[in-house]
C-alpha cells in the first residue's frame, strides 16, 4: 500500500479544513455536522431508506475529512436492519493523511464514537488503496473504498451503481472540473433508477448537467442562511433507452 503524503496546501485544525489549491473550505466552520446532515442525509432521504434497505450503496465526490462518511455510517449503524451491508465509495484527488483526519475530526470523536473508531483509523489508509471490509455489530458489514484520483477518471471504473450520491466537490466557480457535464453524466450512469443525489450547490450549470444525466432536479431552500441547494432522483438515462 502506498502511504498518503501530506499536502502542504491543505490547512487543517479541529473542525476546520481549507484548501489553498481551491481557495475554499472543506465545510462551513459553523456547525458542519448539522449542515452536512441537512444537505446530504436528509435530501437523500437516508434515515427512511436505510431503515428498510438491507443493502445500500453511497457514492461521494470529494471524501475530504470524512465528515460525510462519519455521519452516514453513524446513521446506518443506528437505523439499518441487522445483517445489512453499506457500501461507501468515494473519490478524492487530494487525500488527507490519517493524522490530518484525526486533527480535523477531533470534535466529532465524542459525537460518533463507533463510526469514528471505524473510519478515522487504519481502515482509512487501507480504503485509499483497496476495498476495506469491516465487520460490525448486529452482523452488519461496511465496505469502504476511496479512489485517490481525479473524479472523471474514477467514475469510468466505479464499482457499483449508487442508491445515493453526495456531490461535495467545492464550489463550482472554484472547481469547475468537478462539475463538468461529462462528470455529471457519469454520475447518472453510476446511479440506480430511482437513486438520488444531493448537493449544497444550486448553480444553474450543475442543475442542467444533472438533468442531462437523467435526473429530475429540484432546487430547494439551503441550510441556515443559504438560499438554495439541490437534490434529485434518476428517472432515466437519456440516449440509452
Ligand X SMILES: C[S@@+](CC[C@H](N)C(=O)[O-])C[C@H]1O[C@@H](n2cnc3c(N)ncnc32)[C@H](O)[C@@H]1O
Among residues 137 and 156, whose Cβ is nearest to ligand X?
156
CB of 180 to ligand X, least distance (A): 9
Binding positions for ligand X, 125-184, rule CB under 6 A: 150-151, 168-170, 175, 177-178
Q: Which helix (H) or strand (E) holds 187?
A: helix 181-189
Task: Please choose, out of 47-55, 61-69, 131-139, 155-163, the segment that lies near ligand X by the rule CB under 6 A.
Answer: 61-69
Cell of 211: 438533468
Q: Does 191 bind ligand X (CB under 6 A)?
A: no
Asked if 31 interacts with ligand X (CB under 6 A), we say no
With binding defined as CB under 6 A, does residue 74 bind ligand X? no
* C-beta closer to ligand X: residue 65 or 196: 65
Provide, rounded to whole angstroms, the least separation between the CB of residue 63 and ligand X. 6
DSSP 237: -
Shorter beta-carbon distance to ligand X: residue 13 or 52 = 13
Output the smallest distance, CB 25 to ligand X, in A: 7
Give the separation between CA 99 and CA 94, rounded to whole angstroms. Answer: 14
Q: Which is nearer to ligand X, 7 or 237 (CB)?
A: 7
Among 12, 91, 142, 164, contact with ligand X (rule: CB under 6 A) = 91
Q: Binding of ligand X at residue 94 (CB under 6 A)?
A: yes
Contacting residue, 35, 37, 43, 62, with ligand X by CB under 6 A? 62
The 8 Å CB, 24+ separation contacts for 39-42 are 39/198, 39/199, 39/200, 39/222, 39/223, 39/229, 40/68, 40/71, 40/72, 40/166, 40/168, 40/198, 41/71, 41/72, 41/75, 42/198
Residue 76 in the binding site for ligand X (CB under 6 A): no
Which CB, 180 or 219, lies closer to ligand X? 180
b/e code 50-64 from CB counts within 10 Å (16+ = b): beebeebbbbbbbbb
Grid coordinates belonging to 209: 448537467
**Rule CB under 6 A: is residue 67 a binding residue for ligand X?**
yes
Footprint of ligand X (CB under 6 A): 26-27, 62, 64-68, 91-94, 150-151, 168-170, 175, 177-178
Amino acid at each position: 500500500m502506498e502511504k498518503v503524503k501530506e499536502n502542504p496546501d491543505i490547512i487543517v485544525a479541529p473542525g476546520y479544513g481549507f484548501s489553498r489549491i481551491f481557495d475554499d473550505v472543506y465545510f462551513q466552520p459553523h456547525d458542519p455536522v448539522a449542515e452536512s446532515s441537512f444537505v446530504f442525509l436528509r435530501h437523500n432521504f437516508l434515515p427512511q431508506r436505510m431503515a428498510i434497505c438491507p443493502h445500500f450503496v453511497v457514492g461521494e465526490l470529494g471524501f475530504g475529512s470524512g465528515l460525510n462518511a462519519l455521519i452516514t455510517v453513524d446513521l446506518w449503524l443506528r437505523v439499518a436492519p441487522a445483517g445489512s451491508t453499506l457500501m461507501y465509495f468515494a473519490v478524492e484527488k487530494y487525500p488527507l493523511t490519517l493524522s490530518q483526519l484525526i486533527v480535523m475530526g477531533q470534535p466529532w470523536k465524542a459525537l460518533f464514537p463507533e463510526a469514528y473508531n471505524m473510519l478515522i483509523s487504519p481502515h482509512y489508509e487501507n480504503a485509499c488503496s483497496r476495498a476495506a471490509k469491516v465487520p460490525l455489530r448486529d452482523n452488519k458489514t461496511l465496505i469502504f473504498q476511496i479512489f485517490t484520483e481525479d473524479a472523471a477518471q474514477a467514475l469510468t471504473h466505479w464499482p457499483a451503481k449508487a442508491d445515493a450520491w453526495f456531490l461535495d466537490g467545492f464550489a463550482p466557480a472554484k472547481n469547475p472540473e468537478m462539475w463538468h457535464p461529462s462528470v455529471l453524466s457519469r454520475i447518472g450512469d453510476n446511479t440506480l433508477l430511482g437513486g438520488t443525489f444531493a448537493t449544497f450547490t444550486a448553480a444553474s450549470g450543475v442543475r442542467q448537467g444533472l438533468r442531462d444525466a437523467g435526473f429530475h432536479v429540484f432546487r430547494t431552500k439551503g441550510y441556515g442562511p443559504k438560499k438554495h441547494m439541490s437534490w434529485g432522483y434518476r428517472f432515466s438515462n437519456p440516449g440509452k433507452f
